[in-house]
Amino acid sequence: MKPKQQRLILAILALVAVVGAGLLAAAALRDQAAYFYTPSEAKAATITPGEAARLGGMVEVGTLRQDADGLTILFSLTDGKASVPVRYTGIVPDLFAEGSGAVADGQFNADGTFVAEKILAKHDERYMPPQMGEMPEHLTDTVVDGGAPVAPTAAATAPARAPGQ
């Protein structure tokens, strides 16, 4: 076999391997990927019941109620244009409340109800991690305001004292 034919065979084998890896990756992602819908998009779209989806919006005020079993909650997610009823069984995050943002992972039923398997509560844009509360004030001002660096204060530039001084 000539070297030119060997290179051609290697190139074809490499191409087959790359295409095979791509097909395997696409098949694996199909089971894991979930399309994100807002309530108005979900109402307008034709969604196959049982298909994995993610629904995000605000928990509509006055719709949150607990089922008799104590673990199942029913509420509606809204984007201001449409609302979708959601059913969830489990423990909700601490930040979950009426009027707050939430994202639900799950699937739609044939009747249009979204059955959530996981609820993620959103915090507002002013959220700061608890560790930020322990930082000196002049540093948190810079981070929170996002402005130019703040000149160090006299207390921050003073030399450290040894214990007992």
Instruction: List, as residue ranges, the binding site for heme.
Output: 123, 127
Per-residue DSSP letter, 131? G
Both tokens of residue 115? 């059955």
CA distance 39 to 111: 15
Residue 129 near residue 78, CB atoms below 8 Å: no
Exposure string over 107-137, b if 16+ CB within 10 A, otherwise e:
bbeeeebbbbeebeebeeeeeeeeeeeeeee
CA distance 7 to 156: 67
Please give the annotated binding residues, written as ranges.
Answer: 123, 127
CA distance 5 to 118: 55
